[in-house]
Amino acid sequence: MESIYLDHSATTYVRPEVLKSMISYFSEYYGNPGSMHRIGLTAKQAIDTARKITAEILNCDPEEIIFTGSGTESINMAIQGIAERGDHIITTNTEHHAVLHTCQFLEKRGVEVTYLPVNQKGLITPEQVEKAIKKNTKLITIAYANNEIGVIQPISQIGNISKKRKIYFHTDACQAGLYLDLNIKNLNVDMMTLNSSKVYGPKGVGMLFVDRSVKIRPILFGGSQEQGLRPGTENVPGIVGFATALKIGQKEKQKENIRLENIRDYLIQELLKISDTKLNGDPKKRLPNNVNVSFDGVEGESIILRLDEKGFCVSTGSACTSRSLEPSHVIQALYGSDKKEIAHGSIRITLGKKTTMNNARNFVEVIKDVVSGLREISPVYK
């Protein structure tokens, strides 16, 4: 049985065109981009080209693109490279742990942090952000699209505020790379994080856009690569692959979004026909590939393992798979921490390039059985 992969927000496969673009940079053009000889220069040219391609998509200067090792690393750079003792950061309570745990670490070092609460749909308003601004606010960091519930925040409007108030604005766009506008001039952001492993590129590559005007300190020390912000020999094949992937993804965006939205809305409609089921996050202001639902009376790990047995790969916000024994902070943020059971019973289905309407139809049939089977032996579902 072939598994149907519906977990594209966790990571994507490397698409063949991308792999092809990378291959020669492993053993043929293997030079260090920092070397003066032509073997080194070939590698340097490759990352220069990748930087140019990326900069064109973001509508920024190539020098404003910093390649890193992951989304997490870019986020750490953007936050730790800016905030110092006494500074204030504004973020939300549904950010990825890469943001939240970095902020929590900085709080111990004398940085003040405001975690704006999202509403029941997972959204914050520009007014909330504006109200939270203090004299010492140095940085606003808000995800473009949420990794669990896919909701899209009003980045451009928040950016307007940050510009007016002269506060740095970073957006974590890890989930947005394939689906949303990445033009930083439209978004009004000073920094933006992307990662390659979510856009059909290789793992182990991230990117941080840093506007020329931003005064950022390095958090790693060593060589002068990447404007001195990211020392260490560059991951040449990875960077080439990332740029190729982003370029193709953005080119296909419009058409693919329509196709995916169609499947997404079908799934939402059919899953909500299962009794006592809830859609988590705004139904429309969400990524074209994200569905997140909670089923009353059943626990997420049980659902995903039974789905796996039937050949469908999805993920859950249940504590049982988090390793921390805490269910999803994102789902808890929607309904309150006294409604943990909604988080325990949540399932995230994220679609991708190969997902078809037919996959969606089969999935609906299977999950209906799985949920009713588990509800049958659940003492809390009545």
Partner 1 sequence: MNKQKIKNKIKETNNSWFYTDIVKDHFFNPKNFLTDKEAKNYKADGVGIVGSSACGDVMKMWIRVKNNKIIDCKWQTFGCASALASTSVLSTMVIGMKLEDAKKITPQDIIKKLGGLPQIKIHCSVLGDQALRKAIEDYEGKKVK
How many other CB atoms sit within 10 Å of the CB of residue 380? 11
Would you call 320 a catalytic residue per the annotation? Answer: yes
With respect to ligand PLP, which residue has the nearer C-beta, 146 or 302? 146
Measured CA to CA, the distance from residue 100 to residue 105 in angstroms comes to: 9
Interface ranges with partner 1 (CB under 8 A): 2-3, 297-302, 305-306, 309, 318-320, 323, 325, 327, 338, 340-341, 344, 376-382
Q: Which residue has the tokens 């504006």?
A: 130
**Phi and psi dihedrals of 19, rounded to 5?**
-55, -45
Q: Which does 369 bind (CB under 5 to 8 A by kind): partner 1, ligand PLP, none?
A: none
Please name the residue ranges forming H helices in the chain: 16-27, 38-58, 71-80, 97-108, 126-132, 155-165, 184-187, 236-271, 300-309, 329-335, 340-344, 357-376
Q: By 3-state DSSP, what share of the chain in percent is helix, strand and coil, each rounded to 5?
A: 45, 15, 40
* Whole-Å CA distances, 21 to 8, 18, 51, 237, 245: 22, 5, 15, 8, 9
Q: What is the dihedral angle through the alpha carbons of 366, 370, 372, 375, rounded to the nearest 10 degrees?
A: -160
Shortest separation between residue 104's beta carbon and ligand PLP, angstroms: 15
- Compute the distance between CA of residue 126 and CA of residue 142 in angstroms, rounded to an integer: 11
Q: How far is the CB of 332 from partner 1 (least distance, A)?
A: 10
Residue 249 interface partner, choices partner 1, ligand PLP, none, CB cut-off 5-8 Å depending on type: none
Phi-psi region of 232 (alpha: psi -120 to 50; beta: other; left: phi over 0): left
Least Å from the CB of residue 302 to partner 1:
6
Q: Which is nearer to partner 1, 287 or 367 (CB)?
A: 367
CA distance to 153, 210, 212, per residue, from 89 (Å): 17, 17, 21
253 or 340: whose CB is closer to partner 1? Answer: 340
Question: What is the nearest approach in angstroms of partner 1 to the Cβ of residue 326?
Answer: 10
Residue with tokens 């193709």: 248
Q: Which does 36 bind (CB under 5 to 8 A by kind): partner 1, ligand PLP, none?
A: none
Q: How far apart are the first and last CA of the chain?
A: 34
Footprint of ligand PLP (CB under 6 A): 70-72, 96, 98, 143, 147, 172, 174-175, 195, 197, 206
When CB distances are held under 5 to 8 angstroms depending on the partner's kind, the choice from partner 1, ligand PLP, none that residue 3 binds is partner 1
CB of 292 to partner 1, least distance (A): 18
User: Which CB sits closer to ligand PLP, 6 or 298?
Assistant: 6
72 binds, among partner 1, ligand PLP, none (CB under 5 to 8 A by kind): ligand PLP
301 within 8 A of 368, measured Cβ to Cβ: no
> Residue 381 CB, nearest distance to partner 1 (Å)?
7
d(CA 180, CA 290): 13
Question: Based on CB atoms, which residue is closest to ligand PLP, 180 or 374?
Answer: 180
Distance CA 165, CA 170 (A): 14
Among residues 75 and 319, whose Cβ is nearest to ligand PLP?
A: 75
**CB-closest chain residue to ligand PLP:** 71
Among partner 1, ligand PLP, none, partner that 309 touches (CB below 5 to 8 angstroms by kind): partner 1
Q: What minimum distance in Å lies between the beta carbon of 29 and ligand PLP? A: 25
Interacting partner of 143 out of ligand PLP, partner 1, none (Cβ under 5 to 8 A depending on kind): ligand PLP
Q: Considering beta carbons, is residue 247 or 375 the nearer one to partner 1?
A: 375
For 199, the token pair is 């856009």
Which residue numbers are catalytic? 320
